[in-house]
Chains A and B, each alone.
Chain A
Amino acid sequence: MELTGADIVVKCLQDEGIEYIFGYPGGAALHIYDALYRQDKVKHILVRHEQGASHAADGYARATGKPGVVLVTSGPGITNAVTGIATAYMDSAPLVVISGQVPTHLIGDDAFQEVDAVGITRPCVKHNFLVKDVRDLATTMKKAFFVATSGRPGPVLVDIPKDITAEKTEYIYPRSVSMRSYAPVKRGHPKQIKKAVDLLLNARRPIVYAGGGVVLADAEDALREMVRLLGYPCTNTLMGLGAYPHDDPLFLGMLGMHGTYEANMAMHGCDVMLAVGARFDDRITGDLSKFSPFAKIIHVDVDPSSIGKNVKVEIPIVGDAKSVLEDLVRELKARAAAINQGQTKQWWQQIDEWRGINCLAYDQKSEKIKPQYVIEKLHQITNGDAFVTSDVGQHQMWAAQFYGFGKTRRWINSGGLGTMGFGLPAAMGVQIAYPDDLVCCITGEASIIMCIQELSTCKQYDLPVKIINLNNRYMGMVRQWQEFFYDRRYSHSYMDALPDFVALSESFGHRGILVDQPADVEGALIEAFAMKDQLVFLDFITDQAENVYPMIAAGKGHNEMHLHPGSGEPPQERELA
């Protein structure tokens, strides 16, 4: 049967098993919207700003592992979506973005609502397509899903001129596609696996450094098994939190700029580092010239260009994190007799000494609400089992440091691009995927305003997200840098003229609770979570002066951390055994 391009787009989504798409209509997309209207398999979530659509689809994708789908119109529709596309690109989230485009004959004419969508998105997508012939449409859609979800995942744009959505052709959705120019590697090279195990078994001061790639590849079980087999310390990046359980004795916490003392010191002192699904980002490494000076590095990544990009690697292994970790486990089991946990005893003694200080200390007796306290309470009340999205700033770091994740895909934040405004729409996407689960958005008063319009979407679709606003009346992270590095010149970081968030949420039809006493924190959280089918905006008035510790300042190494005065004296540096 012949179908119009618009119907083909929707059919493809159905045949791909897509349940939800996030979008906003406009002229160039109207045929597609009409096709959506005439069916009820694919449910469309109408956001209030296209940035919200791409973040929501991203949140959905990260929480489920399935591709998130966005539908926007040409011109301002796609430009508004770009921030969300770039966010997904930096964190390797699988998105398929469908954008309407002006009709083929008008392309290049500066037509109404025309932008070069393929050109604008090129540097922030894994790949993009402009469909020029309706007969290519179904195959292009299949390719888009294939590219977005395979290898190192990422966003893919399909730009479809309006006339193409009106033209008709026979609809055949290919069951699979192969592309001669795209063949992601899955298995790691067996020789490299053997070499890696040799090196691991000979380590005296090993560390396993696991990142978001472990989450994306659903490799957490294999990671845990491997780490436990070896009895080696493990640290996670901001993107990898949950990959290794926070309360396991082998876990050193998060590493990097605001990572724990023990994780960063162990990174600095290690002699063998196994990096899996992590990319040696500058927020992780600090000054590269001071980075892990004694380490021989094994680097596992599905993206060859991540390997050797920032640091020199001894043993590169290109492959999917899950497959490689499973191969490592198999090889280790075959050589179980060679695993000698006594070999790392001194190293563990050293690590325990580092752990002896409380690097996440904060003032427990304050009369003001400490943001860390709110997150700790949140963890307790939710048993560490909530989905937590965040925005960007101090609150994001406190959430990462204090929530304590035991599972993957529960911690959803914009690590790579650092996009304020991500938290609320991402939480919507998660809540749509898991309607019965608790979804919390930890945010700051500056970030939340960036996509506050999505409160309206939450009302329309009854999304009972719980917003935990750590309201310090400052762009706290900016203020912290100004305090440390600009002599306390707080240039434009004070959030003047803030709205009354309780009234604001209520005007959108939600509930709001203002909390300004530490004693009320727990009660307010419990009260909010009891309102299971309500969005509740919890506005915590927190200590304005609080800073995120520990901190590695720019140009410093992992062993040069700035600690909270209440952390206690760091142990004396000593020769590493």
Chain B
Amino acid sequence: MRHIISILLENEAGALSRVSGLFSARGYNIESLTVAPTEDSTLSRMTIVTAGSDEIIEQIVKQLNKLVDVVKLQELTEGAHIERELMLTKVKATGDAREEIKRLVDIFRGRIIDVTDSTYTLELTGTVEKLDAFVKALDMTEIIEVVRSGATGIARGERALSL
């Protein structure tokens, strides 16, 4: 099963490598990992998307909690939550394709953020499935590059991960 784990981490050198090292040393799977500072400069927020049986996820959570740099942790997928990922795509856009891509971007509520004579750069935010669907819909188009941020997320309602 796919799980999203949100972590508040001490914003210290080496903290990221402790987390990533844990995953590689114990053979856990990482689909994506994002990390950035928060409004509190001593904390970073990390989102890890992983997959595994319930036992493995339980171990991952325990092992993460055991890391001294992990301040707090929440398994987002345990409750209602919102998940978003940002994707930037550069595509070949010439002739009729220019209109077609524009329509597609509208349907997916994306934006064209950069234009040249022969290319578009597209921005799209959404769940992982939505981004996957968009890439699939672009199948007639020549994709030059795709950049995905990895998923981030937040719990719905009152539930929050904060100190």
Contacts and interface: CB of A to CB of B under 8 A. Distances in A.
A181 B68 contact: yes
A123 B21 contact: yes
B76 to A, nearest CB: 20
Contact of A305 (B55, B59, B68, B72): B59
A132 B68 CA distance: 18
Nearest to B9: A181
A416 interface: no
Given A179-B68, A180-B163, A181-B71, A122 B18 contact: yes
A303 B65 CA distance: 10
A147 B58 contact: no
A179 B67 CA distance: 12
Interface residues of A, number: 19
Given A179-B68, A308-B58, A122 B21 contact: yes
A interface, over-half SS: mixed
A181 B62 contact: no
B58 to A, nearest CB: 6
Given A119-B17, A304-B62, A181 B25 contact: no
Interface string B1-24: 000000000100110011001000
A130 interface: yes
B66 A181 contact: no
Contacts of A130: 13-14
B69 interface: yes
Contacts of A119: 14, 17
B70 A309 contact: no
Given A181-B10, A181-B70, A304-B65, A122 B17 contact: yes
Contacts of A128: 14
Contacts of A305: 59, 62-63, 65-66
Contacts of B70: 181
Interface residues of B, number: 20
Nearest to B42: A180
B157 to A, nearest CB: 25
Contacts of A303: 66
Interface in A303-331: 303-305, 308-309
Nearest to B62: A305
A82 to B, nearest CB: 15
B71 A147 contact: no
Contact of A127 (B13, B55, B68): B68
A122 B21 CA distance: 8
A182 B17 CA distance: 18
Interface string A144-180: 0001000000000000000000000000000000011
A370 interface: no
A503 interface: no
22 contacts: A118-B14, A119-B14, A122-B14, A122-B17, A122-B21, A123-B21, A128-B14, A132-B13, A147-B68, A181-B10, A181-B69, A181-B70, A181-B71, A303-B66, A304-B62, A305-B59, A305-B62, A305-B63, A308-B55, A308-B58, A308-B59, A309-B59
Interface of B: 10, 13-14, 17-18, 21, 25, 55, 58-59, 62-63, 65-66, 68-72, 163
Interface of A: 118-119, 122-123, 126-128, 130, 132, 147, 179-182, 303-305, 308-309
Q: Lowest 8 A-B CB distances belong to which pairs?
A: A305-B62, A181-B71, A127-B68, A182-B68, A304-B62, A123-B25, A305-B63, A305-B66
